[in-house]
Amino acid sequence: KQEVTQIPAALSVPEGENLVLNCSFTDSAIYNLQWFRQDPGKGLTSLLLIQSSQREQTSGRLNASLDKSSGRSTLYIAASQPGDSATYLCAVRSYSGAGSYQLTFGKGTKLSVIP
């Protein structure tokens, strides 16, 4: 069974700092990996999707990398801002049988960017 771990569970940084969030997964047979952002009381917003054949994806100040063989992904946030404060979730998509591809989520990293 796929398991996804995110470390640390919480992170507090001063504004302007570059930071890295980590995600690891136990089964390397994945189709893709998706990073989400969740604001308090809100749903999930998709940030980046990396296919299993890709090494990284970039969107603005965000860069996500994928090392499928080692079961790891990182989300790099450059020049952090208070508006980046949220919980960041990592999810991997794996084949679960009968034509189904399911997402397995980590528990998230709660980021606080201090002005």
Partner 1 sequence: NAGVTQTPKFRVLKTGQSMTLLCAQDMNHEYMYWYRQDPGMGLRLIHYSVGEGTTAKGEVPDGYNVSRLKKQNFLLGLESAAPSQTSVYFCASSLSVSNQPQHFGDGTRLSIL
> Strand, coil or helix: what is 81?
coil
> Is residue 81 at the binding interface for partner 1, with CB under 8 A as the rule?
no
CA angle 68, 71, 72 (to 5 degrees): 90
62 binds partner 1 (CB under 8 A): no
Task: Answer left, alpha or beta for residue 52, where phi above 0 means left and psi between -120 and 50 means alpha.
Answer: alpha
Q: Does 99 bind partner 1 (CB under 8 A)?
A: yes
How many chain residues bind partner 1 (CB under 8 A)? 26
What residues line the site for partner 1 (CB under 8 A)? 4, 31-32, 34, 36, 41-46, 49, 51, 89, 91, 93, 98-103, 105-108
